[in-house]
Structure 1
Amino acid sequence: MVADGDRLGVGGHHFARLPIALLRAVAGGKARDLRYCAWAGGLPLEILLEADAVASIDICFSSLDIFGLPPRFRAAAEAERLPVRDWTALAMIEALRAAQQNLPSRTFQLPRGSAMMERMPTARSVADPLTGEPVGAVPPLVLDTLLLHAPRADESGNVQIVGARALDLAMAGAAHKVLVTVDEIVPVGILAGMGRQTVIYRNQVSAIAKVPGGAWPTSCLPHYVTDYEALASVLAGGASLADGLALPKDGVPIRLRKAAGISAAAAAHMPLPAVHAAPAPATVDEVMAVRLAAELDNDSFASAGAVSPLANVAYRLAKATHAPGMIIATMSCGHIDVAPSPLLLSLIEVFDAETAAAHAGGDDTYSALYQAGAVTHEIIAAAQVDRFARVNNIAIRRAKGGFIRLPGQGGMADVANMHRDCVLYVTRHSPLSLVAEVDIVSSARGLLDAEERARHGYRTSGTKLFTDLCVFELDPASGELVVTELMPGVGRDTVSRATGFPVRFAERCGEIAAPDGETIEILRRRIDPLGLRRLEFVGARERGVLIAEILAADRAVVDALAAREQP
């Protein structure tokens, strides 16, 4: 049912509910020249690129999560073998909605301050017909085919999604064909009694195949969690992705099924290991996490981005200590108001789905939360930042020609203006990461003046950049970054030498106080016992060793929790 030249959408998000069995079937079939179109590239795009089945790419970002940048995507983009079009998340959502609602176009808030409008060939800046205000406009983004995996469908064809749903509803509405694999098919009427869920109605679904384990090695709640060990093995190279992602003969490993049934309460009552025993001095990653957490209070609504372990740690630490009333949203705002459960790699999604007050998708949370100015923080990692706090997460020019492709900006260009507080971080401060002028302005705070922000419906606070050496704040008078705090033991000369533009220091630039022992103990034992935050502080060569260490510790903890809950 997938034809040559189809504009192909893929459901799921990150390593959750990806339609791996469907993607392998498409890659091994005859359909070629596919126009890949989805919020994320990542593993699905890698599978199709390996099969040489892709003619063009339309995405907001592409990442392999903790495993880094996708090598096939990078190679294709850097060699310019096929068109890669970067979208803002909001523009893609509205284009899908235009298709879903049979409208000739939809408008959206302009990503002011960024250069993203220049990178989206179908988007235009137009005058609002009623007010004359400049807004973005985009035509319908019609998908020929959407590939989707879900935990179950009923016998009449209604499809159930549990947990975060990314852009699945908007994509299903925008697609001519919706092809779904499910882990199980249940009698009509069963879905009505299954609590929190999303249902794609049967009249939107073109075909369903029962494929138990069809998302493995990614997750499909409530049946099984992500198999990070299998992903690490496959992504390390050697065998082809198509072969490495074949479901084991015995199906999804039983330990992954048991893990899906572990409760957050079980982890809260079990002593967890820690990478550093408590009286060891605080490390730079811990100092950054504690200092970032200090930005948050009981009025904060903080959203965790696509691949931001450090930000996720800071949010949970704040909620577990001084800001119990704050709201945390994870999985790109798919799990809303989660508890500060420990960041156990295999169980993050399970715990957040369990403790969240609500499950959602990016299409509705953008409308109800981001665009409404309700989200105060999304502490965002930046690859390249300039003296004006402009960010580049798309591509960096090489001195000898060509460029290094980066993941992409995701939704940063949109939300940089929508959040009350604009907070960025760089974990390895160097002249390559802090530059005089970024190569591409993928995101920036374009609305700075409080009066102008209020007119657009947004609250106002400052802009800050945290690094492993210091803290910068954007000076509203000059529009440039100024150092206001130094990391413990770091001198001004060190910061100046490591920065690619002349550094200004605030008159009262002091040193960040070392975290107290109680906070460090909570961070190490309760919030981030595996030390996931460390992944953002190492280079590519060290990452493999660290991931292996984390995976071994994760398995030991998950196995112990599963044995306790399910003897």
Structure 2
Amino acid sequence: MSGRTTKVTTLREAVATHVHDGMVVALEGFGHLIPFAAAHEIIRQERRDLTLCRMTPDILCDQMLAAGCVTRLVASFFASGSAGSLYEIRRRIEQHDPAPLEVEEYSHYGMYCRYQAGASRLPFFPLRSYVGSDLPQVNERIRTVPSPYGDGDVYVVPALNPDVTIIHAQRADEFGNAQIWGITGAQQEAAYAAGRVIVTVEEIVSSEVVRSDPNRTLVPAHAVDAVVQVPHGAHPSYAQGYYDRDSAFYREWTPISRDREAIRAWVQDRIIATDGHGAYLDGVGRERLARLDVAPRPSEPVDYGRRGT
């Protein structure tokens, strides 16, 4: 698809076109810009037998598991932000309720290295950080190879090439040049490693805006298949410069997740039965969302310079 072809579409159409049963799907966003709206649309469209790849499989993963979308999890650091356990994940792993969950666990850096290898089209990626860790004992895909430079063995992790990667960004132009600021995780590597890429954004802006600050373009148009404007598309996580984290939501999730029937009822009522992300936000409450608004704090402008005439 040409980098100068508009890639703007709806969230419903993007998921229908690019996410299918049985796929390996990466949903990346580290701390903020977590693509909740896209995950909810996957739930609405009742995708099944997915392998979910994610650094920190948080509430998003709990919801997709309760909806029956995921049968295999490739992930690192299982936690609901700082708010407690993920009880749907725990039920699947500890009790096999309602079915066992296949888990492939890495460190954050191990996941990042897998994406890096996938993006570089390398078979594996070497790293030192598993020395002294128990993870190689529970994950047979973490292996050692002798260094070709004669300095002992090094751990390696295999390349990760998702069928589709979905990220959320602050803004993009209609061609898919996606810009991110604040915390960045593995979004760029996960995008380049994937066969297809969907980018949801807080707003679609003109190409002139993107070109005015090109260093913020983490995922350029040639790597993107679809771009979707989804305001508050990262709720309950946050989007730097747009809205704050809904920390109360994370605290409220613990009793919901702890109750097997409550989490299924929540997913049914608040996601599946809603007609898209706007209806989900109505359920959250517009006044509540307004309280998450942030005041402006612009960075200092950068002068890129222009050749003299």
Instruction: Give TM-score scaled by structure 2 length.
Output: 0.78
Q: Whole-Å Cα distance in 2 between the matches of residues 201 and 242 of structure 1?
A: 36
2:56 paired residue number: 40
Which among 270, 286, 290 is matched to residue 254 of structure 1? 290
- 1:20 matched to 2:46? The reply is no
- 1:144 matched to 2:163? The reply is yes
1:134 paired residue number: 153
Structure 1 residues 160-309: aligned runs within 5 Å = 160-194=179-213, 197-237=216-256, 238=262, 239-241=265-267, 243-244=269-270, 246-248=280-282, 253-257=289-293, 260-261=294-295
**How big is the shift at 1:242?**
5.7
Aligned length: 263
- 1:8 matched to 2:44? The reply is no
Change (3 A) 1:195 1:225: farther
Listed one character per residue, the Cα deviations across residues 154-190 of structure 1 (whole Å, up to 9, x for unaligned) are 1222011121011111111111111111111111120
**How big is the shift at 1:45?**
0.6
Q: Whole-Å Cα distance in 1 between the matches of residues 211 and 22 of structure 2?
A: 38
**How big is the shift at 1:234?**
4.7
Gaps of 5+ in 2: 1-17, 257-261, 272-279, 301-309
Q: Whole-Å Cα distance in 1 between the matches of residues 183 and 215 of structure 2?
A: 11
User: Do 1:141 and 1:174's aligned partners in 2 also have CA atoms closer than 8 Å?
Assistant: yes
State the AA in 2 paired with 1:9: A
**How big is the shift at 1:208?**
1.0
User: Do 1:36 and 1:58's aligned partners in 2 also have CA atoms closer than 8 Å?
Assistant: yes
Listed one character per residue, the Cα deviations across residues 358-413 of structure 1 (whole Å, up to 9, x for unaligned) are xxxxxxxxxxxxxxxxxxxxxxxxxxxxxxxxxxxxxxxxxxxxxxxxxxxxxxxx
1:60 paired residue number: 76
Q: Whole-Å Cα distance in 1 between the matches of residues 214 and 175 of structure 2?
A: 19
Which among 79, 82, 92 is matched to residue 95 of structure 2? 79
User: Do 2:25 and 2:162's aligned partners in 1 also have CA atoms closer than 8 Å?
Assistant: yes
State the AA in 2 paired with 1:193: S
Change (3 A) 1:230 1:95: closer
Share of identical aligned residues, percent? Answer: 26
State the AA in 2 paired with 1:88: S
Q: Whole-Å Cα distance in 1 between the matches of residues 49 and 126 of structure 2?
A: 30
Q: Whole-Å Cα distance in 1 between the matches of residues 176 and 39 of structure 2?
A: 21
Change (3 A) 1:195 1:137: closer
User: Do 1:144 and 1:177's aligned partners in 2 also have CA atoms closer than 8 Å?
Assistant: yes
- 4+ runs deviating over 6 angstroms: none
Listed one character per residue, the Cα deviations across residues 481-539 of structure 1 (whole Å, up to 9, x for unaligned) are xxxxxxxxxxxxxxxxxxxxxxxxxxxxxxxxxxxxxxxxxxxxxxxxxxxxxxxxxxx
Q: Whole-Å Cα distance in 2 between the matches of residues 200 and 242 of structure 1?
A: 33
**How big is the shift at 1:235?**
4.4
Larger radius of gyration: 1
2:114 paired residue number: 95
Change (3 A) 1:52 1:144: same
User: Do 1:142 and 1:174's aligned partners in 2 also have CA atoms closer than 8 Å?
Assistant: yes
SS in 1 for 2:131: coil
Bigger relative CO (Cα 8 Å, ≥ 6 apart): 2
Change (3 A) 1:196 1:204: closer
Q: Whole-Å Cα distance in 2 between the matches of residues 227 and 36 of structure 1?
A: 24
State the AA in 2 paired with 1:2: V
**How big is the shift at 1:66?**
2.9
User: Do 1:160 and 1:198's aligned partners in 2 also have CA atoms closer than 8 Å?
Assistant: yes
State the AA in 2 paired with 1:256: L
SS in 2 for 1:191: helix
**How big is the shift at 1:198?**
4.5
Gaps of 5+ in 1: 264-352, 356-567
Q: Whole-Å Cα distance in 1 between the matches of residues 254 and 216 of structure 2?
A: 32
**How big is the shift at 1:247?**
1.1
Q: Whole-Å Cα distance in 2 between the matches of residues 163 and 198 of structure 1?
A: 13
Change (3 A) 1:52 1:195: same
**How big is the shift at 1:92?**
2.1
2:307 paired residue number: none
User: Do 1:42 and 1:70's aligned partners in 2 also have CA atoms closer than 8 Å?
Assistant: yes
Which among 42, 60, 65 is matched to residue 49 of structure 1? 65
* RMSD between aligned residues: 2.4
